[in-house]
Structure 1
Amino acid sequence: MDDSVRVWHPTVPFVREVLHATFEHHVYPAHTHDAWAVLMVDDGAVAYDLDRTGHFAVPDSVTLLPPHVPHNGRSAVGGETYRKRVIYLDEGWLPARLADATVARPTLQGNAAAATVAGIHAALRSPGEMMAAEYGILSLQEIVQGHLGTASSPPRDVPLARRLRQMLDDRLDESFTITEAARILGTHPSHLVRAFSQAYGIAPHRYVIGRRVDLARRLLLAGRAPAEAAAEAGFHDQAHLTRHFRRVLGTTPGTFAA
């Protein structure tokens, strides 16, 4: 199998770039990044040294490489291919003080971390799911802080949650990010997500999707074609509407309208 690399830059807050790669022969020399690297190995295994200490990255786990810390990488078994996905996140995604703790514990085990990172990648591949990807990145932030023993439990902020819900309702057919909403509301994106989820028991992007599906349902009943309903309800396109309509209501927009 030939080595292959695909790299792109999604327009999602915190994300510098995304890399999908398959390597059989390539060996990374020691190098650094000015970003946090979130590594998931899908096939094979990667052996790497982080700040001169050896580690392994294997499937069903997530590896976090902090900014400005030297690391290398190679197949853990000579001549065996490995396939990996990496998300590079802004240096300010996590506090700089967590870099040393991450060097000591770079591997996140457990279903929560792997499922969150897999969900981020799925959202990054799907047009119209920018807020879902951003939510996953903010959720991973909390998972990492818990893994490193620095998580906190701030008090509930119901007034802030209400303000965000009103904004989401008022701008239901618009595309904007949690980061933009946090800037307008004068708070941090992580705190905004936490406040909303605590108050309403649902993530902001799930709330938006549910409201949009409900609006599309009413538009279909009023005689709109599925493509028109998708556009008016704020979906990226008809396929985007169909995917979520089927997940929420168990049928397609076309079948529902008929």
Structure 2
Amino acid sequence: MATHPATRSAIGPATRAEVTAWRPDVPGVTEVFHAHFVDHAYPAHTHDAWTLLIVDDGAVRFDLDRHHHGALRSQVTLLPPHVAHDGRAATPHGFRKRVLYLDTDLLGAELIGAAVDRPGWADPALRLRIHQLHDALAQPGELLAAQSRLALIQERLRQQLLGRVAVPPVARDPGLADLLRDLLDAHVVDGVTLDEASRRLHAHPTHLVRAFTHRHGMPPHRYLTGRRVELARRLLLDGRRPAEVATEAGFYDQSHLTRHFARMLGTSPARFGRTVDSRRRAVGPT
């Protein structure tokens, strides 16, 4: 999963801009774009993708289809494909933004008009999910997490565009949830994508995520990560080295293993392995 930033640039003081962009290996997301602009102003232009924007600092003014709008930190902004828009800082201090460019088919061309009429919303839950998706996209090896978060975001965006925002339904489908658990258990090391699980189990991705979370108390990607940490733990107890354990337990690399291992167990794989070695030396050969 090529999720780590592939293109970085820090433009000189004349424009005072910082840009990071990359193309993740996540179906539906064509580009991730992070930027800090002070005095750069976008001329009118269009995209052939949906532009999903959150502002982390400052504010943005933009015209969409010749109507004036603004994007604030508290909002989620969605610009439709093929519709002219521009953009500029709303304050002298500029702005920081994070953008996801989404395939047109992810939401459907029939919703372009709704986005032109209302391109932004104050939706804290949706904004948090977008932030979490950016975090997943920035970390190699988090494909299932990214897909799960994108599925929920897609559902929420469609609700907003259709004016049908509601409390997320409780998905009580224990049989389906257990089938997904069995599938994840069978693919701890090689993993399974949400799209593949959806095809195998004949269920919508969003329903899969909700049903699994309701049944097992955590989303599918967190369950899979936990199983991989447990496998890594057993391999370390067998005396294997962290660099070997990482790939054998299904992690992208040793850094990926270390991040999740420490989050779950409060120590790094290297320290955990050293305690095993110390214990083995103290006990002596068996």
What TM-score results when the alignment is normalised by the length of structure 1?
0.89
Paired letter, 2:103:
D
Shift of 1:19: 1.2
- For the pair shown, the structure with the greater C-alpha radius of gyration is 2
Task: Please tell me whether the aligned partners of residues 184 and 192 of structure 2 are also in contact (alpha carbons under 8 angstroms).
Answer: no
Partner of 1:93: 106
- Amino acid paired to 2:213: S
- 2:169 counterpart of 1:149: no
Note the residue ranges of structure 2 that are not aligned, 5 or more in a row. 1-12, 276-286
**In 2, Cα distance between equivalents of 1:96 and 1:189:** 21
How far does residue 195 in structure 1 lie from its aligned partner after superposition? Answer: 2.4
Alignment-derived partner of residue 131 in structure 1: 144
- 2:241: which partner in 1? 225
1:36 to 2:53 alignment: no
The amino acid that maps onto 2:268 is T
Partner of 2:6: none
Match of 1:174 in 2: 190
- Measured after TM superposition, the shift of residue 141 of structure 1 is 2.0
Q: How far 1:50 moved relative to its partner?
A: 2.2
The one-character-per-residue Cα deviations of 1:206-247 (angstroms, maximum 9, x if unpaired) are 110111111111222222222222222111111111111111
Q: Do the aligned partners of 1:61 and 1:113 also contact (CA within 8 Å) in 2?
A: no
CA distance in structure 1 between the partners assigned to 2:51 and 2:257 by the alignment = 32
Name the SS of the counterpart of 2:47 in structure 1. coil
Shift of 1:155: 5.6
> Match of 1:70?
84
Deviations 1:26-58 (A, max 9, x none): 322333222211112222211012233221112
Q: Distance in 1 between matches of 2:217 and 2:105?
A: 28
Distance in 2 between residues matched to 1:200 and 1:175, nearest whole Å: 18
Separation in structure 1 between the aligned mates of residue 102 and residue 139 of structure 2, nearest angstrom: 19
SS at 2:63's partner residue? strand
Q: Which residue of 1 aligns with 2:62?
A: 48
- Which residue identity does 1:217 align to in structure 2? R
**CA positional deviation for 1:130:** 1.8
**Residues matched between the structures, number:** 257
Residue of 224, 231, 236 corresponding to 1:215: 231
- Aligned mates of 1:36, 1:16 — CA distance in 2: 10
Aligned to 1:109: 122
